[in-house]
Amino acid sequence: MLLKIYEDNPNPKAIQQAVDVLKKGGVIIYPTDTVYGIGCDITNHKAIERVCQIRGLKPDKSNLSFICYDLTDISNYTKPFDTAVFRVLKKALPGPFTFIFNASGQVPKLLSSKKKTVGIRVPDNNVVREIVKELGNPIVSSSIHDEDEIIEYSTDPELIYEKYQDLVDIVVDGGYGGNVASTVVDLTSGEFEIVREGKGDLEEYL
């Protein structure tokens, strides 16, 4: 199903439709503030395996990140971090960053790699954040890649739907997506270490 949800004023009924599918173990494709993502409820192992299968990833080696509604959610899934880190996160989020933390025991085994780390996003996009808020759990996040050699990420929701309609339960059409991924920042040592330069500029918040 292709489900249109406007970011400026997400329709609660449409949000609930996406949430109902996730609660039943479904897989959805959704917009973020960077590229379109594919995901499911982090508490559903079968759904996580399905996301990995669609993306051609091995669950225990895939370094999947997940999307939280806000900073309150983040602290449930990470080992404690210091106040200086918290201050930067507060300024930078919601925003186009993936922060890698040491994982707490609440992260499902399938999602914390053997290194016991977890990547977390709070995107500046009302559609996906409202879905997460209503669901009450974070959702798994993996980017939708394009086979095109020039464009790395698929940006047109209708084309994404054509490609994935038989593989996922819902493609949420939130308008055209970007084709620059998030900036990935490793915080496992307590320092801000940029692993991948993307859309977000961390220097603005340090």
Model confidence over 124-161: pLDDT tens digits? 999 999 999 999 999 999 988 766 555 567 889 999 99
Angle made by CA atoms 162, 65, 97, in degrees to the nearest 5: 95
Q: Where are the domains of the chain?
A: 2-196
Say what the pLDDT of residue 64 is. 80
Say what the pLDDT of residue 111 is. 73
pTM: 0.93
Residue 2: which residues within 8 A CB-CB, separation 6 or more?
A: 157, 158, 161, 165, 170, 171, 173
Multiple choice CATH, 2-196, 3.50.50.60, 3.40.50.2300, 3.90.870.10, 3.30.465.10: 3.90.870.10
Q: In what helix (H) or strand (E) does residue 67 lie, and over which residues does it extend? A: strand 65-67
Q: Yes or no: say if 63 and 113 are a contact pair by the CB < 8 Å rule.
A: yes
Q: What percent of the chain has pLDDT over 90?
A: 78
